[in-house]
Amino acid sequence: MSEPVVVQGTTVASPYDHGVAVQSGSAPISDDFTKGSKQEVRCRDPIFALLLYANVGAICGVVGAYGTAAFEKAFGDANSTVDWAPYLYAAAVTGIFSMVLAGIMFLVMMRIPQFLIKTSLIFVVILSGVWCVIAFVGGNIIGGIIGAVFFALMMCYARAVWSRIPFATVSGGRHSTCT
């Protein structure tokens, strides 16, 4: 079983012999690849790393400068008459409700993904067109031009991906059920 299996003109590897690499079409197999090789350790986004460190430094600076006094001003002292319990209960109830609703919506999304993707594409195209019309009607020429550009881009995007939606929904459904 060292020979590759041919299925509808496409060469695929045997499901039992994983040691044989199969070269497909235009993707040449690289000989310098080693599975599990350690990549070099380096920063690939130095600008964002600096921004992160600046953000953390600013947070530490504010904490160092104001300490707990900032929290006492915001939430009041021990003699405050503000009762925080209703706010905490409301936050807990809405948090639990949102988690349950997100779980239900995930199940719905997995049942009708093609309809949802097509609906969202149509919605984006319609809203970008409405933005364009409202901007021109309101006398905002620059906003109308930007809206027209976005409308054209959304139309092109919707046309480009419309035929790929069935494949994306099948792939997404299969990936979401993997364990």
In this structure, are residues 39 and 21 in contact, taking their beta carbons and an 8 Å threshold? Answer: no
pLDDT at 168 over 70: yes
User: Whole-model pTM?
Assistant: 0.44
Average pLDDT value over all residues in the chain: 80
Per-residue pLDDT, 179: 45
CB 39 within 8 Å of CB 30:
no
Measured between alpha carbons, how far is 151 from 147 in angstroms, rounded to an integer?
6
pLDDT digits (tens, 9 = 90+) for 44-96: 888 999 999 999 999 999 888 888 777 666 666 666 677 778 889 999 999 99
C-alpha 148 chain-centroid distance = 26
CA distance 2 to 18: 9
